[in-house]
Amino acid sequence: MAEVHVAVGVILDRDQRILLTRRADKAHQGGLWEFPGGKVEAGEDVLQALDRELREELAISVAHSAPLIAVRHDYGDKAVLLDVHLVRRFSGEPKALEGQPMAWVAVADLPDYDFPAANVPIVEAVTAALQ
Ligand SMILES: Nc1nc2c([nH]c(=O)n2[C@H]2C[C@H](O)[C@@H](COP(=O)(O)OP(=O)(O)OP(=O)(O)O)O2)c(=O)[nH]1
Ligand SMILES: [Mg+2]
């Protein structure tokens, strides 16, 4: 099965809270919370895809990011490579442009949210990075 390359942003505000959005019910892994992002398209690199996705989904643009972790996961119906970046600086005020539920969450409260299975190592890496 072809692996889908996904650019994912762990977006932090000044208080080190993290921006989560909820996936549409009908989407793959629908109804679960996610770190915003989306598929890398042909001709893009991962940072271009991240910036484009965050513009499309949240009306922000990335001013500074750093790689956090890359996670491969096979859901059976779909295999993904999540290329995750910490976004500590961005311009604009995040708005849920696609009507998706959105929440700013302290790292200690991440365990209260249901994520796709691939996100387990991401949550661990965020928790370690924000110690
Ligand atoms: N953005 C994001 N995707 C995740 C996370 N965890 C996880 O397993 N995924 C998976 C779900 C999807 O199979 C894939 C993301 O693809 P997507 O379909 O949302 O991509 P997209 O935003 O380009 O959406 P679309 O234009 O195709 O509707 O990665 C996560 O934390 N954030
Ligand atoms: Mg998306």
Contact 20, 115 (CB under 8 A): no
The domain in which residue 100 lies consists of 3-129
* Residues near ligand 1 (Cβ within 6 A): 6, 8, 27-29, 34-39, 53, 78, 80, 82, 116, 118-119
Q: Binding residue per annotation — 57?
A: yes
Is the model's pLDDT at 79 over the cut of 90?
A: yes
ipTM: 0.97
Partners of 90 in the beta sheet? 62
pTM of the predicted model as reported, rounded to 2 decimal places: 0.97
Q: Which residue do the tokens 């491969």 mark?
A: 72
The number of the ligand nearest the C-alpha atom of 100 reads 2
Q: What is the pLDDT of residue 131?
A: 84
Q: Binding residue per annotation — 56?
A: no
Residue 101's pLDDT band (cuts 50, 70, 90): very high
List the alpha helices (DSSP H) in 1-131: 46-58, 120-129
Q: What is the pLDDT of residues 26-70, one digit of tens each?
A: 999 999 999 999 999 999 999 999 999 999 999 999 999 999 999
CA–CA dist 65, 51 (Å, integer): 10
Distance 92 CA to ligand 1 centre (A): 22
Is the model's pLDDT at 16 over the cut of 90?
A: yes
Total tally of structural domains belonging to the chain:
1
CATH number of domain containing 119: 3.90.79.10
* Residues less than 5 Å from ion ligand 2, measured at CB: 38
